[in-house]
A and B are shown apart, each in its own frame.
Chain A
Amino acid sequence: MTVTSPGERPPGTPRGPEAPFLRHGASAATTDSAEGSRSRQALPDLRYSEAEEQLRAAVRDLLADRSPWAAVLARVDAGEGNDLALWHTLAAELGCAGLLIPESQGGAGASYREAAVVAEETGRAAACVPYLGSAVMATTALLGTGDELLPALASGRLTAALAVGFAGAPPAPGSGPGPWPVRAGPPGAGDAAGLARLTGTVRGVADALAADVLLVPGDGAALYAVDARDAAVTRAPQVSLDATRPLADVTLDAAPGRPVCPGDQAVRAVAAALAAGAGMLACEQLGVAERCLDMTVAYVKQRHQFARPVGSFEALKYRLADVWIAVTQARAAARYAAACLAGGDPDTPVAVALAKAACGEAAVLAAQECVQLHGGIGFTWEHPAHLLLKRAKSGSLALGTPDRHRAALAALVDLPPPAGG
């Protein structure tokens, strides 16, 4: 047997037909068995559907072709953590930018289950694409609004980013707006009716450098669309721990903002975007963990010391078995989060917290073991292990650490902290 789960295809095996899933509302896997219908009432289907596997194969092929390790490393070396040509192919030609967008607005009318599979693959490849920021977070923020930006995002013509710090966790259900650092002032002279002038700085925004449009939560509780290239917008690139997902500090100096949605709707839109972002980032982390495991297993089979493959030593076998166990657990958590997000399940906050904690820790474990079990070569710049390690650790810190998500569970499942604690 190999490391790949039954849902995956090892490289080189025949693929299904290309991309029929993109236009036909590929939905959750269904089963007509009695067990299936009953377990769906209790728990959703946690497997991958045929359509999801076809989508995975198409994305994996593209990334294997266009984003091999040498290409990712060259991009990191050059400080260009966005591969916009690759992103355009993924977004527009494969249709991954529009997975979450209804067909009536030019999207594929798919769900977070399919979006999760794309996230897994971008994680596996540590791909330099703004998928999470644009196709997941910014898109989710706009979904309920029917905003005019949606068709442009669906087609891949425009890329957007939600202007929130990437470190922030999703807010607790029902809580008010977070401390939104951008103030909304009155329109300037000659501004179109309804515009606001936005001022403030948002630090550590993911995928902002690739964005054409910034979605900015403004104090006074509305969500605004801002032209990222407006003269009043500064995007200062940061030296990011994970150079494959560069962060930027976004500063607005009386930048014109078009209100996308007001008040409570904006609060809900930002909360939904953060929850979906955390859930899909968890799925990305699953992909990181699987790739680390695959690479490490392959290496310890061929690396010889003491006249035998190092993978035959029990001390290493047990460690890799533990990584594999962590990946099987993380996969179930990731699938559950994707299914809950897809179905609008009331258990979504619990599912996202579980997945972000489990997948974040699995990815960091797998990446650290990848470095360690590769020995010296794993500690070099030339070997790709560090790309995955940085993607893993950075992803586990972003959108709420595992610890932060477990702390959120305390309120969600009635396990209150000690009094005064």
Chain B
Amino acid sequence: MLTGNQQAGELRQQVRDFLAGHDPAALPRLEFLRARFDAGLAWVHYPAGLGGQGLSRSLQSVVDAEFAAAGAPDNNPARIGIGLGMAAPTILAYGTQEQQERWLRPLWTGEEVWCQLFSEPGAGSDLAGLATRAVRAETGDHWLVSGQKVWTSMAHAARWGLLLARTDPDVPKHAGLTYFGLDMTAAGVEVRPLRQLTGEAEFNEVFLADAAVAEANRIGGIGAGWRVAQGTLMNERIAIGGGALPREGGMAGLAAAAWREHPEARTPGLHDRLLRLWADAEVARLAGARLRQQLAAGQPGPEGSAAKVVFARLNQELAALELELAGAAGLIYDDWTLRRPETVSFFGRGPGYRYLRSRGNSIEGGTSEILRGIIAERVLGLPAEPRTDTRVPWKDLPR
């Protein structure tokens, strides 16, 4: 059994050997990334043959650092965050061998972008109540999907969608769902931009009218969609709240910079708010680091569900403070033009944009209220509220 340090040394050597045979400056980007995947150096914690070597997740940073030092191209992770953070772990956990071999390589190289088709106009927090129907064709080799999805990031660039659809309306709502990988280029899939209150359209609405999805692209069992989706959502929450940043990374740094640059805007009240938020943000950063240390050591704690609630609150309060520190400039917005960005930064553009965008942080990926309910029931073990919607057939629920 090799120690972590020996494994790290061995991996570094593997990367050097790989680079000796694959000159990043000479090879086309995609060719280089495909070869890196095939060499098991894409994500080392994935299985051999699927871009990895079955090693500890904590060793990935060794490989990434080695490639970065060599000036090698990366797979632009910001653009394929949904694929890397949500689709890939779902496919790995629930997909068939054929699906894993078909999907993971172009997902990792960025050739194929993924999006997530979960929320609907009538099913937000109550995701399990969703109404998009998938009906199996008589031939049995495909399903026809009809309905409307909403809040779909990157749908306009996506080749594949993680689709949760109702396959049996005659059973209680959680039991009648099935999970698919939907070809976004199929006939019957229409993507329209959904403009949000910032003026941008980073999200889409997706209209499905008898869109065909192959039976071979079903992920998990018929009726098992809810369980598969839970895995996707857990990864989403970690992805939103759990990134590693230095001190004053993110919104705290922007608010602190505004304070330092605008002595004329300083008041005792703002100073008190800034110190509270700065301290809370730094503590939240430490809590995130502690969580990652636990994950790397294979001792995941339940702290992950706190991270996103805290992140949302701090982002919102810091962005509001930064806007107040901007003085007269706070009354000006940079641009209301409808844009369709391919990557989203909560910290980009101006303070007005940041303030407005932050309002979404406590809604997207599970509202802060839903997350508190999850903490109360799954972490603290408090009893569920009496419910009327979980035991009757979905078709009989009031809508």
A interface list, Cβ under 8 A from B: 1-3, 5-7, 31-39, 42-43, 45-47, 297, 300-301, 308-309, 311-314, 316-318, 320-322, 324-325, 328-333, 335-336, 350, 353-354, 357-358, 403, 406-407, 409-410, 413-415, 417-419, 421
Contacts and interface: CB of A to CB of B under 8 A. Distances in A.
A97 B7 CA distance: 41
Given A6-B294, A33-B59, A309 B376 contact: no
Query: Nearest 8 A-B pairs (CB), nearest first?
Result: A317-B376, A35-B58, A332-B287, A418-B266, A46-B290, A321-B372, A33-B4, A332-B286
Interface string B3-44: 111011000000000000000000000000000000000000
A312 B279 contact: no
B287 A321 contact: no
Interface of B: 3-5, 7-8, 56, 58-59, 61-62, 246, 256, 259-260, 263, 266-268, 270-272, 274-276, 278-280, 282-284, 286-287, 289-290, 292-294, 296-297, 299-303, 306, 309-310, 369, 371-373, 375-386
A320 B376 CA distance: 7
A47 B294 contact: yes
Contacts of A332: 283, 286-287, 289-290
B290 A1 contact: no
A414 B282 contact: no
Contact of B375 (A31, A325, A407): A325
A322 B372 contact: yes
B271 A311 contact: no
Contacts of A415: 256, 259-260, 271, 274-275, 278
B286 A47 contact: no
A3 B379 contact: yes
A421 B380 contact: no
Given A325-B306, A415-B271, A317 B369 contact: no
18 contacts: A7-B301, A31-B4, A33-B4, A33-B56, A34-B8, A297-B380, A309-B383, A312-B382, A321-B309, A321-B376, A353-B279, A354-B279, A406-B272, A406-B279, A414-B260, A415-B271, A415-B274, A417-B266
A34 B316 CA distance: 35
Contact of A325 (B4, B310, B377, B382): B310
A47 B289 CA distance: 10
Contacts of A31: 4, 293, 296-297
The majority secondary structure among interface residues of chain A is: helix
Given A318-B372, A321-B376, A354-B283, A33 B275 contact: no
Contacts of A410: 271, 275
A357 to B, nearest CB: 6
Contact of B271 (A301, A329, A421): A421
A358 B279 contact: yes
A329 B280 contact: yes
A300 B382 contact: yes
Contact of A5 (B260, B278, B293, B301): B301
A314 B62 contact: no
Contacts of A311: 376, 382-383
B375 A324 contact: yes
Given A31-B4, A36-B4, A336 B59 contact: no
Nearest to B296: A35
B271 A417 contact: yes
Nearest to A311: B382
Contacts of B278: 409, 413, 415
Contacts of B303: 5, 328
Contacts of B286: 43, 46, 332-333, 335-336, 354
Contact of A43 (B256, B274, B289): B289
A331 B289 CA distance: 12
Given A331-B290, A410-B275, A418-B271, A1 B61 contact: no
A43 B249 CA distance: 15
A35 B275 CA distance: 31
A169 B379 CA distance: 36
A306 to B, nearest CB: 10
Nearest to A410: B275
B71 to A, nearest CB: 21
B382 A418 contact: no
A19 B313 CA distance: 42
Contacts of B296: 31, 33, 35-36
A317 B372 contact: yes
A285 to B, nearest CB: 13
Contacts of B271: 410, 415, 417-418, 421
Contacts of A316: 382
Contacts of B276: 406
A421 B293 contact: no
A325 B309 contact: yes
Nearest to B256: A415
Contacts of B376: 311, 317-318, 320-321
B283 A333 contact: yes
A6 B283 contact: no
Contact of B268 (A5, A325, A417): A417
A403 B283 CA distance: 15
A403 B275 CA distance: 9
Given A3-B379, A47-B297, A407-B275, A318 B266 contact: no
Contacts of B377: 317
Given A35-B296, A421-B268, A1 B275 contact: no
A47 B379 contact: no
Contacts of B5: 32, 34, 37
B17 to A, nearest CB: 18
Given A45-B293, A47-B297, A329 B287 contact: yes
